[in-house]
Amino acid sequence: MADKIPLVAVVGPTASGKTGLGIAVAKHYGGEVVSADSMQIYRTMDIATAKPTFEEMDGVPHHLIDFWDPDKPFSLAEYIHSAKKVIADIHSRGKLPVLVGGTGLYINTLLDNVTLGESGGDETLRAELLREAEEKGNGYLLSELRTFDPETAENLHENNLLRIVRAIEVYRLTGVTMSEWVKRSHEQDSPYRFCMIGLNYKDRQNLYDRINLRVERMMAEGLLEEARRVLDAPLETSAQAIGYKELKPYLEGELPLNVCVEKLKQSTRRYAKRQLTWFRRDGRIHWIYPDEEENFTKVFEKSIKIIENSAILC
**87: enclosing H helix or E strand:** helix 76-92
In three-state secondary structure terms, 38 is coil
15 known member of a binding site = yes
Neighbours of 120 (CB within 10 A): 5
177 known member of a binding site = no
Residues 8/195, Cβ–Cβ less than 8 Å: yes
16 known member of a binding site = yes
In three-state secondary structure terms, 75 is coil
Q: Which residues contact 309 (CB under 8 A, 6 or more apart)?
A: none
Compute the distance between CA of residue 83 and CA of residue 34 in angstroms, rounded to an integer: 7
* CA 303-308-310 angle, 5° bins: 95
14 known member of a binding site = yes
Which one, of 269, 299, 268, 267, lies nearest residue 205 by Cα?
269
6 known member of a binding site = no
Compute the distance between CA of residue 64 and CA of residue 104 in angstroms, rounded to an integer: 16
44 known member of a binding site = no
249 known member of a binding site = no
- Write out the binding residues for substrate: 14-19
Could you list the residues known to form a binding site for ATP, using ranges: 12-19
Enumerate the known binding-site residues.
12-19
